[in-house]
Structure 1
Amino acid sequence: MRLMLILLSIAILAFQACADEFSVHSSEVDDRKAVIATVEPVHLLLARARIGGTIIRVKVKEGDRIAAGAEVATVVDEKLALQMQALDSRIRSQQAQRDQAKIDFDRVEELRRRGVSSQMQFDQARTTLDVADRTAAAMRSDREVIMQQAAEGAVLAPGAGRVLTVPVSEGRVVLPGETIATLAEDNYILRLALPERHARFMRAGDQVLIGARGDQTEAEGTMRRGKVRLVYPEIQGGRVIADVDVEELGNYFVGERTRVYVATGKRDTIVIPADYVYRRAGVNFVRLKDGTEVVVQPGEARPDGVEILSGLTDGDVVARP
């Protein structure tokens, strides 16, 4: 029994010794570069005036969220009201002429039935009545056109989103097609501008890491991830433009800049668990298996440990301090 306990203790100590050792091997990792990305809406929507006139009401302000089809402002053209009044008078006059033409037609039809009126008089009366009916219908159509123009004075949001700018005010005269409000769709993206030497490494579907906002600290394991949705085929000013999809970017400001880490190739490096590195007197050390202390230069933190830039070589065995 005592011998078994001794053997078990030796096995546990040997296992702990192996567990506290780490064999150093170089591995291939993504060579990531930090670039600046700008938060942009996928589509920038413009609410435009469809008719010219005077703005009598503005219903939104910068920062408001509105739904698709919501009324942004109201534009009124006073000439449309005058045209409507004039057309109503013409319609009433034409209706009176049509009523008289109907009376004349009924009289000629009755006389023709009795054999007193001729076929020519009957045809003439019927033609006069048809012309009066068609003229009245045309005037009613013109009235509907004016009513539609007046209804188009309501400036509607072309889509759901957040109002960025409202460059007009009540009482201002606007022309057809003039911008009343600029809206950003709720779906935001990150727009990158990479040096053209990195163009051959960037592909749609690649993963990127999103840095922390402002002066917040960041580590690769805690950074948000995004996916490249589109790489534009044109180089502008020596830069490659790419769009990145990231979930829940709605709390960012449009135009806000943030750090993004993109892969620009592969490189060989040494990565060891972070708890094998200890610091003393401002210097970073690791302990080899034989007890020797080696000064190392740590690099960026990774999910599986910390990168070692110098101090270790492939094949070294380090011990947990």
Structure 2
Amino acid sequence: MRPAALSLISLLSVSALFGPPAFGETVTLEPRALTEWKPVYAEVETRDRVPARARIGGTISELMISEGDRVEAGQRVALVEDSKLFLAIDGINANLQSLGTQLEQAQADLARGTSLSERGVISNQRLETLQTAVSVLEGQISSLDAERHIVTRQIEEGAVLAPEAGVVLSVPVAKGAVVMPGEQVALIGAGGVFLRLAVPERYADALQQGDPIEIAQGDLKTMGRLAKIYPLIQGGRVQADVEVDGLPETFVGRRVQLRLPVGERQALLIPREALLHSGGLDFVAVNIGDETLQRVVVPGEEVTIDGAAYIEILSGLTAGDKVTTSHE
């Protein structure tokens, strides 16, 4: 028997097996564009990573934070102390006390000299000398005051402040450690979080800024937006950033699974209710003229378009086939 005859007999047998179904709406199949999605992993990143640095050198006497703590802008996170600064303050204070005593004596001498000058007992030159002595001492005291202010300011700068509000990502030092000016005491993640991903460069031309991105991992099921594509390709990969509303900030660096649109393809889609299952096979009712036959098909993945569920048909149907959308 010829293969064509066998196929016809098999098809008629399948139709007889199901019996005459009741048909609903009939749809003529046409190829539809489907977005090609590539599953990738992205990492949770903070917008800014700002180090909190020591402004003076010294020993960390206080450390108020640890990894995971949230801080506000300007909050003190550590205290650096340099004992030499306190010794300098003590020395300046002693000099000021000595100069203050000398100034009192010089001012008293000037007062007597002024009185004597008015009576013509001393010369104007001597009076000017007394006035100069007072001015010199006042200048020295003013200079030491400025020096003390500088040292006091250096002591105040021992407070290490958080540059921005955010979460503490790392604290690479410990209490009692010696740090140099400009050394990092803590790393602050600020400005919120986003997803950063790296995809193979062959998909670079398919990426479009603003493309929707599907995120589905655990309890996190939402849509994001491709916010930025970096022009520099490194290691054969393109970096991109994805904006996601409500992204948890609990773990920075956490990997999140998402699907990235990398192109489009044409597919034949049927409503989910048009697909029948029997005997381990999948069937679709196809109208051919005045007859309705059950045709064996190979279904693909299920997709949702405008809230309706569709099944992609990989083989068994062609464009133009008329498919019944429901069965009873």
**Pairwise TM-score range, normalised by the shorter structure:** 0.7 to 0.9
1:88 aligns with 2:93: yes
What's 2:112 paired with? 107
What's 1:271 paired with? 269
What's 2:203 paired with? 198
CA distance in 2, matches of 1:111, 1:281: 130
CA distance in 1, matches of 2:115, 2:270: 111
Instruction: State the shift of 1:113 in Å.
Output: 3.3
What's 2:49 paired with? 44
What's 1:295 paired with? 297
Give me the TM-score of the superposition, normalised by structure 1.
Answer: 0.84
Instruction: State the shift of 1:128 in Å.
Output: 2.5
Instruction: State the shift of 1:192 in Å.
Output: 1.2
Instruction: State the shift of 1:103 in Å.
Output: 2.2
What's 2:138 paired with? 133
Q: Percent identity?
A: 38
1:158 aligns with 2:163: yes
What's 1:187 paired with? 192
SS in 2 for 1:100: helix
How many correspondences in the alignment?
298
What's 2:245 paired with? 247
Q: Which runs of 5+ in 2 are unaligned?
A: 1-21
Instruction: State the shift of 1:297 in Å.
Output: 2.2
What's 1:177 paired with? 182
Which residue type is aligned with residue 271 of structure 2? P
Q: CA RMSD in A?
A: 2.3
1:285 aligns with 2:287: no
Going from structure 1 to structure 2, the CA distance change for 1:281 and 1:149 (only over 3 Å counts) comes to: farther
Which residue type is aligned with residue 297 of structure 2? V
Structure having the larger proportion of residues in strand:
2
Instruction: State the shift of 1:252 in Å.
Output: 4.9
What's 2:148 paired with? 143
Q: Which runs of 5+ in 1 are unaligned?
A: 1-15, 217-221
Going from structure 1 to structure 2, the CA distance change for 1:108 and 1:250 (only over 3 Å counts) comes to: farther
1:61 aligns with 2:66: yes
Which residue type is aligned with residue 323 of structure 2? V
SS in 2 for 1:32: strand
What's 2:7 paired with? none
Instruction: State the shift of 1:42 in Å.
Output: 1.0
What's 1:71 paired with? 76
Instruction: State the shift of 1:89 in Å.
Output: 0.4
Instruction: State the shift of 1:92 in Å.
Output: 0.9
Instruction: State the shift of 1:310 in Å.
Output: 2.8
1:233 alignment partner, one of 225, 231, 234: 231
The Cα offsets for residues 161-190 of structure 1, whole Å up to 9 and x where unpaired, read as: 122222222222222222222222261111
Relative to structure 2, which stretch is displaced further, 271-280 or 86-95?
A: 271-280
* 8 Å contact kept, 1:68–1:159: yes
Instruction: State the shift of 1:263 in Å.
Output: 1.9
CA distance in 1, matches of 2:106, 2:279: 111
CA distance in 2, matches of 1:61, 1:272: 56
* 8 Å contact kept, 1:39–1:252: no
CA distance in 2, matches of 1:229, 1:297: 35
CA distance in 2, matches of 1:223, 1:301: 16
CA distance in 2, matches of 1:66, 1:111: 67
Instruction: State the shift of 1:126 in Å.
Output: 2.7
SS in 1 for 2:174: coil
Give me the TM-score of the superposition, normalised by structure 2.
Answer: 0.82
The Cα offsets for residues 94-119 of structure 1, whole Å up to 9 and x where unpaired, read as: 22222223223333333333344434
What's 1:8 paired with? none
* 8 Å contact kept, 1:269–1:308: yes
